[in-house]
Amino acid sequence: MILIKEKMTFNIKIFGIVQGVGFRPFINRTADAFSVRGTVANKGSYVEIFAQCDLETLEKFLDAVKKNSPPRSTILKIDVTEIDEKNFTSFEIIDSTHEVGDIFVSPDISICENCKQELFDKTNRRYLHPFINCTACGPRLTILEHMPYDRERTSMKNFQMCENCAEEYNSSESRRFDAQPICCNDCGPMVYLLNSAEKNLDAINTARKILVDGGIVAIKGIGGFHLACDAKNFDAVKRLRENKFRPTKPFAVMFKDINSVERECNLTSAQKKFLDSPQKPIVLLKKKSATNIASNVAPDINRLGVMLPYTPLHLLIFDLPDDITNFPDALVMTSGNPSGSPISIDDEDAQESFGEFCDAIISHDRKILLRADDSVMDFIDDEPSMIRRSRGYAPLPIYFDLFPNPSSLFPKLAIGGELKNTFCLTKNNLMYASPYIGDIGNLKSVDVLKNSVCRMCDLLEITPEVVICDKHPRYQSSKVAAQIAKIFDVPLVKVQHHYAHILSCLAENNFHDEVIGVSFDGIGYGDDGTIWGGEFFICDTKNYQRVGHISKFTQAGGDKSARECWRSAISMMKNFDVDEVNLKLNLTTPENLAGQKFLLKNNLNCIESTSCGRLFDAVASILGICNVATYEGEAAMKLQSCAEKSGQWSVVSGQKNFSLITEKLFEEILTRRLEGYEVGALARFFHEGLAEIIASTCEEIKNSYNIKTVALSGGVFQNSLLTSLTVVKLNLHGFKVLLNKMIPPNDGGICIGQAAFTF
Ligand code: ZN
Ligand code: ZN
Ligand code: FE
C-alpha cells in the first residue's frame, strides 16, 4: 500500500526584527530547500508565511528558520495555525500589505564584507559604487518614510532600478533578492561636490586631495554630515577646532582599518568585536603612549574615540585607487554641526552651518530622512558601557516586563531630559528609544525633537496615551512634552531626574524588586527645589525615597558654576583661608575670587546643591587639572585620565581618615595638595575615596532597610575607574550591583527611565 502524505496549509506569523534584514528571501530559500509551497509577505509588524507541506516538513522548515535566520534578524515569537487548504504551485514573495501592530524598524547597518569585496573588484559591475548594499547591509531607518519597509516608502523611491538590478532584486539566488536600497553605477544615487561640477569618482578624488593637503572636508554619511580632516595633522585639527568653536572637546577618529587602529591604540578582544560589529559604534580606546595621532585631537585625555568606515563612501575616501598614494589612515570625523546643534542632514543646512570654513562639502542625492549620530561606547571591566545610543542601535526596542499590570501597558511617549536628549516610545512591553537628538537648549534642537517625535510616532504607528517628562520647571524638553500632551489631549506625568536614571538601570536589567539607587550626575532638579546630583534612594519602579546624598554645598554664580570649576572649589573651602589657597594654587584671578566671595557671603545667586559633577569639578580645580571647562564632563574626564596615568596609587596613607563624607574627602585632598602631594596620586585617592563613601553609605542603608541590591546610574558612572572601584567595594560588602550597559547611564538614558516609571 502506498501512503500518501497529507499536505496541510499553515499560517505562520514571525515577530521580531524581520524587516530590512533579508528575511523574506531567506524564508523563500528555506522553503525551496524543503519543497514547501506558499507565500511570504511583510506585514509591517511581522512576516506572514503560508506554508503548504506535511507536518514533519513543517517542523524541519521551522527548525531551519530558527537556526539559520539572517545574522541581523531577531525572532521574538512564532505563531503557527493550521488553516483550510489553499492551492499553491510554488513559493513566492508577495507584495507588502499594511497592518498595525508591534513594529520593528531595522537600524542602519554598516557595509558587509561581501559588498566591500565587490566594491574593490574591477570585474564587478558595482566596482567603486559609493552606494553598494545588499540584504545584509546598508541604510534602513535613516531612509525610511513609512512601514512596511519597501523601496517605495524609502528615499530610494526616486531612483528607478535598472534592468540588471531589477533582475537581482527579483531573483531568490541573489544576495540582493528583495534588497530595498539596491542600486548600481547605472541607476543609483550620485556623489557630488557642493558648489562644483565634479561628480562621483572625480568628486571623491578632489576630496581626497584636499584631505591629504591638510584641508577640511564635510562628508555626508548615513545619519548626517561629518567634518573630516587628517587626524595626524596638528594644524588641520587646530583649524577645525577654531572654526567649529570647539577648543578642547575630544574628536572621534575614523581609522582606515583595524590594523591602523592597533598601531595607535590598545584594544581588548571585546572592544575589537564591537568596533568591527555591523553597528560600527565609536569605541573609546586607550591611546598608546607613542601615538601619531595629533595631540590636539583628544587633549589631556588618555582615551580616543575610534570607529571604522561603515559606508562605501567612507571606504572610497580612504582607498580610492587614484593618483594619491599618501592618504592618511586616520581622519578626524566629528558631527557636522555648530556646537550643541543637531547634526546637519541636507545640503542647505550643511552650506549654512559650515560651508564658510570647509574646503569642500561632499554630498549625495540619497536623502536622509531621520538623523542618526554615531553611537559611542566605552568599556567598564571589559563590558560595554554605552555613552550615546544612536546609529546602528536606534530604534531597536528594549524588551522589558516591568509592567506586570496590563493596565500600565498603554502607549507612552517619554520625552527624556534636556542634555544629550533622546526620547522613547513604548508599546506593550517594548521601548523604542530614538536616535540621539542633542542638547535641547536652542530652537533648532527643539524643532528637531518635535519633528523626530512625529516621524517616530508615524513609523512605529504609536499614538501616546500619556506623555512623560522631567520635573525641571524650565527645561525646554518639558515644554515640548506639555505641548505634545496638549495636542494629543493626554495627561502629562513628571518624573524626578535622578530617580529616572535609576529606573533606566532597573529597566535595562529587567529588575523588579526594591534597590538602593545611587544616582550621581551633574545637575538635576530636586524635589525640594535645590540642585540634586549625588543621591541615594530606596526605590522600585513605582516609588522612591531619598535616603541620603553627598555633602551639601552652595553653588554660586548661576550657569557659570557649571563651567567654572574653581567656583565649586571655593564653595567647598569653608574651613580654609580661601585667599591663601588661591595664592598657592592659582585657581582664579583675585577679582574673580572677590566676586565669588561676595556672592557666597551675601547669598546672592546661590543655590544649595548636592551635585556630584560639581564635586569632580572642585577636585579637578584644586589639583590644577581643569579650572574652566569648555565642555560638559571635561573636568571629570581629565581627572579620571590623571588618576589612571598615575603609577603611585598608595602614596596617601590612612585612606579612611575622612569620616566617609564627601566634604571631608575634599578637605583631605586639598590639605594634601597644599602639602605638595603628587597630583595623579591624589586624583586616584579621590576616586578610591568616593567609591568607599558609596560602598559604606550603601552598607548603612542596608543595615536599616535590608536591601542587598544596588543600582548605579547617572552620568558620573560613565567614569569607568570610579564605577569599577565602586563595584569591587560593593561586592566585598555582599551587594548585587546593577549597571547600565547598552542604555547610557547619562542623560541619554533618561527617557528609558521615564518610560519605565509605573503608575
Ligand atoms: Zn552587503
Ligand atoms: Zn542598477
Ligand atoms: Fe542626569
User: Could you report the per-residue pLDDT of 437-474, keeping only the tens digit for each?
Assistant: 999 988 889 999 999 999 899 888 899 999 999 999 99
Q: What is the pLDDT of residues 588-597, one digit of tens each?
A: 999 999 999 9
Sign, CA dihedral 174-155-186-133, equals: negative
Q: Which residue has the higher pLDDT, 459 or 284?
A: 284
The percent of residues above 70 in pLDDT, for the chain, comes to 95
Q: Which range is least confidently modeled, 156-165, 290-299, 563-572, 648-657?
A: 648-657
Dihedral sign computed on CA atoms, order 42, 46, 50, 53: positive
Which amino acid type is present at position 390?
Answer: S
**Residues lining ligand 1 (ion), CB within 5 A?**
112, 115, 134, 136-137
350 pLDDT more than 50: yes
State phi, psi for 521 to the nearest 5 degrees: -155, -165
Residue 21 reports pLDDT greater than 80: no
Residues of the chain with CATH 3.30.420.40: 518-524+529-539+547-739
Q: What are the pLDDT digits (tens) for 294-336? A: 999 999 999 999 999 999 999 999 999 999 999 999 999 999 9
Residues of the chain with CATH 3.30.420.360: 376-511+746-756
Residue 3 pLDDT class (50, 70, 90 cuts): very low
The ligand that comes nearest to the alpha carbon of residue 179 is 1
Rounded Cα gap, residues 291 and 275, in angstroms: 19
Closest CA to 237 of 225, 224, 251, 226: 251
DSSP 500-538: HHHHHHHHHTT--S-EEEEEEEEEEE-TTSSEEEEEEEE
Which pLDDT band holds residue 341 (cuts at 50, 70, 90)?
confident
Give the architecture-level CATH label for domain 376-511+746-756: 2-Layer Sandwich (3.30)
CA of 396 to the centre of ligand 1 (A): 20
Q: Which ligand is nearest to the CA of 129?
A: 2
- pLDDT tier at 649, thresholds 50, 70, 90: low
Does residue 239 surpass a pLDDT of 70?
yes
Q: Give pLDDT, residue 408.
A: 64
Name which residue leads in pLDDT, 464 or 340.
464
Residue 365, number of CB atoms within 10 A of its CB: 14
Strand order in the sheet with 412-414: 397-399, 430-433, 424-427, 412-414, 466-470, 492-495
The rounded Å distance from CA 499 to ligand 2 centre is 53
Mean pLDDT of 51-75: 90
pLDDT of residue 403: 54
Mean pLDDT of 467-489: 95
255 vs 237: CA distance, rounded Å: 15
Residue 405 has what pLDDT? 60
CA 170 to centroid of ligand 1, rounded, Å:
17
Ligand 3 center to 731 CA (angstroms)? 25
What pLDDT does residue 430 have?
Answer: 81
The answer for residues whose C-beta is within 8 angstroms of residue 595's C-beta and 6 or more apart is none
Predicted confidence at residue 77, as pLDDT, reads 79
Q: What is the dihedral of CA 346, 476, 281, 183, to 10 degrees?
A: -30
Identity of the residue numbered 739: L
**pLDDT digits over 720-729, tens only?**
999 999 999 9
φ, ψ at 42 (rounded to 5°): -80, 125
Q: How far is the CA of 688 from the centre of ligand 1 (A)?
A: 47
Q: How far is the CA of 499 from the centre of ligand 3 (A)?
A: 10
* pLDDT value for 96: 67
Helix H or strand E segment including 360: strand 360-364
Q: pLDDT tens digits for 244-257? A: 989 999 999 999 99
Q: How far is the CA of 641 from the centre of ligand 1 (A)?
A: 39
Q: Which ligand is nearest to the CA of 125?
A: 2
The CA 670 to ligand 1 mean position distance, Å, reads: 57
Look at strands 91-93 and 191-193 and give their pairing: unpaired
Predicted pLDDT of residue 172: 77
Give the pLDDT band (50/70/90) at residue 406. Answer: low
Locate CATH 3.90.870.10 in the chain: 194-357
How far does residue 165's CA lie from ligand 1's centre (Å)?
Answer: 14
CATH superfamily placement of domain 518-524+529-539+547-739: ATPase, nucleotide binding domain (3.30.420.40)
* Ligand nearest to C-alpha 186: 2
CA 713 / ligand 3 centre spacing (Å) = 9
- Ligand 2 geometric centre to CA of 127 (Å): 12
What's the pLDDT band for 4 if we cut at 50, 70, 90? very low
Q: Across residues 229-247, what is the average pLDDT?
A: 96
How much is the pLDDT for 599?
Answer: 95
Span from the CA of 188 to the centroid of ligand 2 (angstroms): 6
How far, in Å, from the CA of 31 to the mean position of ligand 1? 23
Of the listed ligands, the closest to the CA of 713 is 3
pLDDT at 709 over 90: yes
Ligand 1 geometric centre to CA of 133 (Å): 4
The mean per-residue pLDDT over the stretch 704-711 comes to: 96
pLDDT over 60 (residue 101): no
d(CA 653, CA 607) in angstroms, rounded, equals: 35
Which one-letter DSSP state was computed for residue 373?
A: P
Distance 321 CA to ligand 1 centre (A): 21
d(CA 88, CA 730) in angstroms, rounded, equals 63
Q: Is residue 284 over pLDDT 70?
A: yes
Residue 118 Cα to ligand 2 midpoint, Å, equals: 14
Q: Taking a C-beta distance cutoff of 8 angstroms, is the pair 497, 532 a contact?
A: yes
What does the pLDDT read at residue 540? 95
What integer pLDDT is reported at residue 148 of this predicted model?
77
Question: How large is the average pLDDT for residues 559-584?
Answer: 95
The CATH number of the structural domain formed by 8-93 is 3.30.70.100
Q: What is the pLDDT of residues 598-635, one digit of tens each?
A: 999 999 999 999 999 999 999 999 999 999 999 989 99
Q: Give the Å distance between the CA of 113 and the centre of ligand 1.
A: 7
Rg (the chain; Cα; Å): 28
pLDDT band at 228 (very low <50, low <70, confident <90, very high): very high
Quote the pLDDT of residue 652.
Answer: 47
- Mean pLDDT over residues 674-692, rounded? 94
Q: Which residues are in the CB-under-5-Å shell of ion ligand 3?
A: 521, 747
Q: Is the pLDDT of residue 653 over 70?
A: no
Taking the CA atoms of 455, 457, 461 and 463 in sequence, report the sign of the dihedral they define: negative
Give yes or no for residue 346 having a pLDDT over 60. Answer: yes
Distance (angstroms) between ligand 2 centre and the Cα of 162 equals: 4
Residues 6 or more apart in contact with residue 265 via CB below 8 angstroms: 285, 286, 287, 288, 291, 304, 306
Residue 698 has pLDDT above 70, yes or no: yes
Question: Does 203 or 430 have the greater pLDDT score?
Answer: 203
CA of 159 to the centre of ligand 2 (A): 9
697 CA to centre of ligand 1 in angstroms: 52
**Is the confidence at residue 72, as pLDDT, over 80?**
no
Dist. CA 747 → ligand 3 center (Å): 5
Nearest bound ligand to the CA of residue 185: 2
On the question of pLDDT at 556 being above 50, the answer is yes
Instruction: Report which bound ligand comes closest to the CA of 716.
Output: 3
Q: Which numbered ligand comes closest to the C-alpha of 749?
A: 3
pLDDT at 510: 85
The answer regarding whether domain 194-357 maps to CATH 3.40.50.300 reads no
Total residues found in the chain within this entry? 759
How much distance in Å is there from the Cα of 718 to the middle of ligand 1? 34
Residue ranges, CATH 3.30.70.100, the chain:
8-93
Average model confidence (pLDDT) across the chain:
91
pLDDT, average across residues 473-480:
94
**CB of 24 within 8 A of CB of 66?**
no
